[in-house]
Amino acid sequence: MENVYQKLWTQAQSLMPGGVSSPVRAFRSVGLDPLIVSHAKGCKIYDVEGRCFIDLVMSWGPLMLGHADPEVVREVQNAVREGSTFGALSEREIKLAQKIKEAIPSIEKIRFVNSGTEAAMTVIRLARAFTGRSKIIKFEGCYHGHSDFLLAKAGSGLATYSLPGSSGVPEEVLKSTLVLAYNDLEALERSFHRFPNQIAAVLVEPIAANMGVVPPREGFLQGLRSLCKRFGCLLIFDEVITGFRVSFGGAQGLYKVQPDLTILGKIIGGGFPVGAVGGRAKMMDQLAPSGPVYQAGTLSGNPVAMAAGLQTLEMLQGQNPYRKLEHLGRELEDGLSKILQMKKIPFRLHRIGSLMTLFFTSHEIENYEDVLKSDSQRFKQFFKEMFEQGVFLPPSPFEAWFLSLAHSKSDIQKILKAASKALNFKPNS
C-alpha cells in the first residue's frame, strides 16, 4: 500500500517539473528523494512521515530567528488581519526602509521588490542607465538570481547540477556580461583596460555564499572599491545572503567597504518573499517615478513581508545576537575540525559567523575553480548519513549552511555526534 510520502511525491512529480518549485530541493545531487515538510519550529523541521530534523538549511538563509518565531508570527497575523496586500504605500514599508537605512550607511534610499532575482535585474538596469555603459562584470560561482544576463557561470543550483549556464539564454544576451575569477584583482584591472569606458558595474557577493562559503581574500573588497572608483564604474554588493547575517550592517559593515549600490533579500523579509535595491540617493532617484529607469511590481512592499522583516530586524538590533551566533558557529567549526582531523579526512571548513561550508578537499579554496576540486561524492555520502541521523544539511556541496538563534549548544552537540558517526564511511562506498 502506498504511504503518505510516496503518494505526495508521485503527485508532486505529475504536477511540477522535477516535482519541485526550485531545482536544488529535488535532492538529485545527493541521490535521494526530497524532503516533504509538514511543519517547522525553532531549528527543527518535520516531514510528512513525522521525522524530525535539526535544520541547517533554514530556508536558505532568511530565518535568523528560527522557524515560526512567536513574535514574528504575531506581527504577521496582525498584518494579515489588516489586509494582505494593498497596491499602495504602507506605514510598515516606510518603517522597514528607515530601519535598513539606519543599519547600512551606504543606503540613502531603497526600493522594495519581491525577490533577490528582481533586485539584481533592477540594480543592473539602474547601473547601466546611471553610467551610460552596457557591460557588467560578475564572478564565477557567484549567483545573483536567474535573470538571463546573470546566469553565466553562476553558483547555487547551476553549480549543483554542473551547468555552465541555462538553456534558453541567447548568446548575444551574455556578451555584455564579463565573468572573472573571484578574488582576482589583476583580472579585473585587465578587464577595465580591455574595455575602457564600457563597464557599468562590478557585481559581487562580498562573501561568496553560493558556491559554498568562500571569503574574500584580504584586500579584495578594498581593491574592488579602489578600481571601480578609478575607472568610473559602480560597485554593487549582492548582500541577499550576507545582509543582516554576518553583522547588522552586513558584509560591508564587517569589512568596512561601502559599495555604490546594494541588493538585499532573505532576512529583510523575515521568511516572506522580498528583495530590495538600495544606494546613494542620486542613483536611486533614477528609478521611476523620480527618473527614467522603469521598475514596478504588484506585490512590491507587501505589508505582510514588511511586518515580518521589520519585526526580525528590530529583534536582531535589540538582542545583538551576533556574539551568540559566533560562539555557536565556532563550536560547530571546532567540533567538526577535530572529528575530521582524527579521522584523517582532507577538508577545508570556511565559516563567517553563522554562515559556513565544509569542503572535502586538501586544497586551498579561493574561487569557483578551487571549489570544483572538492570531493562531491564524499559529500553525497556524508549528506545521506547525516540525513539518516536527523540532520538536514543543504543537499548540495556548493551551498552554505545556516545557523540561527533557535539553535542551541545541545543542537550543536547532536550535530557533532551525528557527524562523528557519518564520517566513518569509506569514500565511494
Residue 179 has pLDDT above 90, yes or no: yes
What's the pLDDT score for residue 106? 99
pLDDT tens-digit series, residues 389-423: 999 999 999 999 999 999 999 999 999 999 999 99
Look up the CATH number of domain 70-318.
3.40.640.10
Q: Do domains 4-64+321-422 and 70-318 have the same CATH topology?
A: no
Catalytic residue among 55, 238, 260, 370: 238
Alpha-carbon separation of residue 409 from 181, 332, 386 (angstroms): 37, 9, 18
**Burial of 243 by CB count in 10 Å (0-12 exposed, 13-18 middle, 19+ buried)?**
buried
Residue 365 has pLDDT above 80, yes or no: yes
Active site residue 324: no
What's the pLDDT score for residue 429? 42
- Segment 195-224 shows an average pLDDT of 98
Residue 238 has pLDDT above 70, yes or no: yes
Mean pLDDT of the chain: 94
What's the pLDDT score for residue 25? 92
Helix (H, G, I), strand (E, B) or coil at 355: strand
Kindly state the greatest CA–CA separation across the chain: 68
CB-CB contact of 321 with 405 (8 Å): yes
CA 363 to chain centroid, in Å, comes to 24
What's the pLDDT score for residue 36? 98
Helix (H, G, I), strand (E, B) or coil at 321: coil
Provide the pairing of β-strand 261-265 with 234-238.
Answer: parallel
Portion of the chain with pLDDT greater than 70, in percent: 94
According to DSSP, residue 335 is labeled H
Residue 161 has pLDDT above 50, yes or no: no
Q: Where is 48: in which H helix or E strand?
A: none
CB-CB contact of 421 with 371 (8 Å): no
- Segment 320-342 shows an average pLDDT of 97
Give residue 218's pLDDT band: very low, low, confident or very high (50, 70, 90): very high
b/e code 199-224 from CB counts within 10 Å (16+ = b): bbbbbbbbbbbbbbbbbbeeebbebb
What's the pLDDT score for residue 171? 74
Of 173 and 87, the one with more pLDDT: 87
Select from 426, 417, 373 the least CA-distant residue to 398: 373
Question: Domain residues of the chain, as ranges?
Answer: 4-64+321-422, 70-318
Helix (H, G, I), strand (E, B) or coil at 405: coil
The amino acid that residue 236 corresponds to is: I
CB-CB contact of 347 with 356 (8 Å): no
Catalytic residue among 44, 266, 380, 384: 266
Active site residue 368: no
Give residue 124's pLDDT band: very low, low, confident or very high (50, 70, 90): very high
pLDDT tens-digit series, residues 77-89: 999 999 999 999 9
- Segment 123-149 shows an average pLDDT of 93
The CB-side HSE value for 304 (13 A sphere, CA atoms) comes to 15
Does the model's pTM come out above 0.85?
Answer: yes
Superfamily of domain 4-64+321-422: Aspartate Aminotransferase, domain 1 (3.90.1150.10)
Select from 201, 205, 162 the least CA-distant residue to 182: 205
Active site residue 375: no
Give residue 155's pLDDT band: very low, low, confident or very high (50, 70, 90): very low
Alpha-carbon separation of residue 274 from 55, 268, 308, 309 (angstroms): 22, 7, 10, 9
- Segment 232-260 shows an average pLDDT of 98
Distance between CA atoms of residues 29 and 160, nearest Å: 7
- H helices of 151-237, in order, are 157-160, 171-174, 185-194, 220-230
Distance between CA atoms of residues 253 and 41, nearest Å: 30
Catalytic residue among 69, 143, 182, 260: 143
What's the pLDDT score for residue 253? 98
Alpha-carbon separation of residue 140 from 144, 184, 204, 205 (angstroms): 11, 11, 10, 11
Helix (H, G, I), strand (E, B) or coil at 279: strand
